[in-house]
Structure 1
């Protein structure tokens, strides 16, 4: 009689063989799509299609819906090709029925790859982290769907890979989609989210200024257009007022605020990451002074009035550049001297005009940090807030201060889950996942395209 333990290898082998059999049609779908793009001469898409089977090894739950969307889109591509060729043959009087049957069959086989991913064996294979499947799959698809039109519609190569290897920018798009799915999964873990956010934010800033340094060193491919401007956030508003044009960054900023409210300041600002790192030098943040908001409003008005005055007076551009550079250097000094000492992001919460615009406009949107009515004001959350938005009076009123940027660092500090993201009438978990989905997509898209 065969010992029971010997059946384990046979069971494992059967499972492997069943899995390989179930993956045969999805793999064939990938190769058929590669053939389609090889026929059209799109080598970048050929490499992407041949790379898709590599996702089979990830075993994450989000891989399955992403591949299903890819196979459905591939089926549509084959059907559109079939219609074009059939119409051409009809016009020139050539037989077309056999061609339609062949290409229609290929389209059905490609689309069937999506159905095979619904089998039990593949559902079991792609079953890791099911709680994050919608966030991760959504981040991948939204990132890809945002970058593909950007690559196609912008008059110059906006992706770095496209600049160095023309025709292969789609590989960077695939990579950014995978990156978005990966970091979305990291951010869904409340305990790790604050550290992950800080690292991603700093990484974005390093890439942004690293590309600027390489561009200034002579590698023009790392610059957006070659028309340089100072990387001072205040110029997003003041620049168009002074120039009367150049509203691209302003539109980008307003679009971001429209999607995620004031989270621009805690996730996407290339300067804010510096202020955050400076504030972390002090473990326990000090409270914000009562004069912080009046000073912030005064600085905002002063910067805007100065920009308008320079324009009305017809001041030479060197004056504008000198004042802007000086303003930026003062901001860096505030980070080094005040943020570092107080543990509060003084530059972002008092000095930066774009920060006031972000939190002010953010109040018009339904994104909120919710403090439950049963909050006991223990102050644990305040010790994690570097924006001074959870002072005792804020906790007493069950409403965070105006300086809140939805960074989320405070949420995991609450022992009783009395803090949460809120969006309209969505439940806290759904609101948090929607926020992660949007901010992750924006981070990935900005990382791929944001240059000076």
Structure 2
């Protein structure tokens, strides 16, 4: 009990320090961490230990600076050194307690998820903090409405990411929950777009509307000759998690997933895998037209009209073909960025492998909505080019022959590391889910 009191007190003292420094958001973050320390979940203990370790460094850094200032000005520094040393000692002791045998006994629930969920929380915090610090304008909504409170949003998003980790810890849970969080992200994205279009431009990232069509990630900068934020974000995301951008992070892909599940419950068996290369032709066509419009001096009004027509055709493909075939026809045969994700994803180390123990039962083909697991693919021991690492097929393989693969890691650890990365990116994208 004493250890828990020390942990909570350490967070409260750090929160008071943040409040005194005028960082209201960090104060809320630390108070939220104090509340988290009351949990008995193992992941909460891990998170508290790491955060308090960072908090001890804050006391050390601030204490060193203040003591140096006192010595330089000839003031009394001994009492200050004792106070700052005491705060450092209390905080580092509390951090150590979280990982000690007594702390592990206190935080003893769901021990098997401890490292996994804590990693999601901490990585989400890191990505969100880097984004908030490096971007030149208030990128989080909380900072826009309440300047300086952005770290409160970071805590909530990181906690949300950790909660997703608990739901997706098992392959069966991931298969059920992935479409839900994907749809939620899309709803937030387009909900904020709708608010922006209604006149509340605070909900728009730059204050200007851009058409939310994936093909414009490539075509937009070609036409404008500027605006490379989305291509860079897309490329970095794909390099980090491979083609999972298409099954976790794309704001339009969630629509295709919904319509493919709304119609036939099982994917069509007569899908021609060669159709996935149609997207490469469309990519060349879209980028070529954008370049031609630019050099031809075509007005933005005409360019926007042409892009909107392409977007409308995309929706028709989802409504008609994806719904009818029970497959994500738009993503696998029509979206130009889909093939970019598939090809660029080959530079990422993540793979989905089929072990030699596969009994060729073909159950995995019944759940793959990307046409990446036909008989030829299974014989080859790997999914086809249209695989997006969604992982839905893993739960269907009762023999455990399907799984994620990362160099030098087991299939189980690879899956956890992959989910840690992609869920953390999901939390980040949710935080910046604006046009």
Q: What band does the TM-score fall into relative to the shorter chain?
A: over 0.9
Describe the superposition over 1:312-352 as per-residue Cα deviations: whole angstroms up to 9, x where unpaired: 22222222111110001000000000000001111000100
Change (3 A) 1:78 1:355: same
User: Does 2:266 correspond to 1:284?
Assistant: yes
Task: Say which of 208, 223, 243 aligns to 2:224.
Answer: 243
Mean Cα deviation higher: 82-91 or 171-180 = 82-91
Tell me, yes or no, if structure 1 residue 103 matches structure 2 residue 120: no
> What's 2:339 paired with?
356
Change (3 A) 1:74 1:169: same
Aligned to 2:347, what secondary structure does the other structure show? coil
Residue matched to 1:318: 301
Partner in structure 1 of residue 106 of structure 2: 125
Query: Structure 2: which 5+ runs fail to align?
Result: none
Name the TM-score, length of structure 2 as normaliser.
Answer: 0.96
1:51: how far off? 2.8
- Structure 2 residue 284 is the aligned partner of structure 1 residue 301: yes
Pairing of 1:74-113 with structure 2 (within 5 A): 74-113=55-94
- Is 1:410–2:393 an aligned residue pair? yes
Residue 41 (structure 2) aligned to one of 60, 67, 71: 60
- 1:274 aligns with 255
Residues of 1 paired with 2:13 and 2:83: CA distance?
13
What secondary structure is seen at the aligned counterpart in 2 of 1:420? strand
- Work out whether 1:261 is the aligned partner of 2:242: yes
What is the CA deviation profile of residues 225-265 of structure 1, one whole-angstrom value per residue up to 9, with x for unaligned ones?
11211000000011111111111000000000010000000
Q: Note the 1:79-228 alignment, pairs <5 A.
A: 79-228=60-209
Give the alignment partner of residue 338 of structure 1, picking from 313, 321, 330: 321
Indicate if the aligned counterparts of 1:262 and 1:358 stay in contact, CA closer than 8 A. Answer: yes
Highest Rg: 1 or 2?
A: 1
Report the CA distance shift for 1:165/1:343 in structure 2 as closer, same or farther (over 3 A). Answer: same
Displacement of 1:292 after TM fit?
A: 0.6
- CA displacement, residues 362-392 of structure 1 (integer Å, 9 cap, x when unaligned): 1222211101112122110000000000011
Equivalent residue of 2:37, what SS? helix
- The structural deviation recorded for 1:91 is 2.1
Taking a change above 3 Å as real, the CA distance of residues 380 and 171 of structure 1, as seen in their structure-2 partners, is same
Distance in 2 between residues matched to 1:235 and 1:413, nearest whole Å = 35
* Worse-superposed segment, 180-189 or 409-418: 180-189
Report the Cα distance in structure 1 between the residues aligned to 2:38 and 2:10, rounded to whole angstroms.
Answer: 17
**How far apart are 1:21 and its partner, in Å?**
2.4
Aligned mates of 2:230, 2:4 — CA distance in 1:
45
Does structure 1 retain, via aligned residues, the 8 Å contact 2:167–2:177?
yes
1:385-437 CA-partner distances (Å, limit 9, x unpaired):
00000011111222211100000000010110110011123110111011000
* Per-residue deviation, 1:132: 2.0
1:34 to 2, 12, 15: 15
**Structure 2 Cα separation of the partners of residues 345 and 80 of structure 1:** 53
CA RMSD in angstroms comes to 1.4
Query: Residue in 2 aligned with 1:46?
Result: 27
Residue 297 of structure 1, CA deviation: 2.4
Whether 1:436 aligns to 2:419 is yes
* Whole-Å separation in 2 of the counterparts to 1:252 and 1:67: 30
What TM-score results when the alignment is normalised by the length of structure 1? 0.93
1:119: Cα distance to partner? 4.0
State the distance in 2 between where 1:155 and 1:365 align: 29
Tell me, what secondary structure is at the counterpart of 2:244? helix
Judging changes above 3 Å, is the alpha-carbon distance between structure 1 residues 425 and 118 closer, same or farther for their aligned structure 2 residues? closer
Offset at residue 290 of structure 1 (A): 5.1
| Long gaps (5+) in structure 1 | 1-19
Aligned residues: 433
Q: Distance in 2 between matches of 1:26 and 1:62?
A: 15
